[in-house]
Amino acid sequence: MQQHCIPANNFTNFNIFITYAVVLHIYRIPLQVNSNNKRNMAKKKNQNHREKLEKKSAVESLKFQTHFGLRQLGRADSDTFHVLADAEVNVIAELGLTDDILGVKNLTEGIKRDLNVEPTTDKGDFCTSVVAIALGIARISEVDHKADPMSWEEQIEKKILTIYYPEEWRNGVVEWAKANGYNTSTYLGRPIVKFNKLFVIIERERV
C-alpha cells in the first residue's frame, strides 16, 4: 500500500498555524469580556445620568408648580410662604417623595377637572403642608392660620395619609381613580390609592 507523508516543511507550517490559532483564541476571550464590561459600564453610567436628570426635572417641576399655586392663592414672591415652600420641597426631594407628591397632585387635579369636586377644607393629613396647599392637594380656610410645618419624615413612617371628600362624592372619586389607571386597593375596608412610598386613603367626610 502506498503511503503519503506530509512534507516536513508543510507539517511545521501546520503546527505554527494551529499554535497561532490557539493563542489568538485564548487572548480573544478576555478581550471580548473586557469589551462587554466596558459596554455594560457605559450603559449603566448613561442610565444613572438619565435618572439624575429625570429626578432633577421632577424637583424643578414641583418647585415651579408650588410657587405658581402660592401666587394663585395671593401670596407674593416676597412672602414667607415661598421660603417655607422651597425648604419643604428640598425635604421632599431628599426623602424621594417628589414623584409621589406630583402623583397625588395629578390625582386631585384630575378629580377636580372631571368631577368638579375638591378635597374637604381643613381636613386630612396634608393640611399642614405648604406644598400640598399650593398644589391643591389640601385646602384650608385661612392660609395665614396654617399650623406647624408638616413633618414628612413622620409621614413616611406612617406611610398612609388621608384625603377627605364630601360623603356623596367619595365613591365617585374612588371609581374615577380606578378608571384612570391609579393603583387602588383597600385598607381596613377603606379605599386607598398606592404611590411609590405613600398610600392615600380616600375618606368620606361625615356630616
- Please give the residue that has the higher pLDDT: either 165 or 28: 165
Strand order in the sheet with 183-187: 160-166, 199-205, 190-194, 183-187
Domain ranges (residues) in the chain: 63-205
User: How much is the pLDDT for 201?
Assistant: 96
pLDDT band at 41 (very low <50, low <70, confident <90, very high): confident
Ranges of H-type helices in 73-146 = 80-94, 98-115, 130-135
Residue range 42-53, pLDDT digits in tens: 667 667 777 788
Query: pTM for this structure?
Result: 0.76
User: How much is the pLDDT for 19?
Assistant: 59
Mean pLDDT of the residues in the chain: 84
Percent of the chain with pLDDT over 90: 58
User: How much is the pLDDT for 45?
Assistant: 67
User: How much is the pLDDT for 182?
Assistant: 97
Residue range 143-189, pLDDT digits in tens: 765 556 778 888 888 889 999 999 999 999 999 999 999 999 999 99
d(CA 123, CA 132): 12
Q: Evaluate if residue 27 carries a pLDDT over 60.
A: no
State the residue for C-alpha cell 389607571.
181
The DSSP H or E segment spanning 192 is: strand 190-194
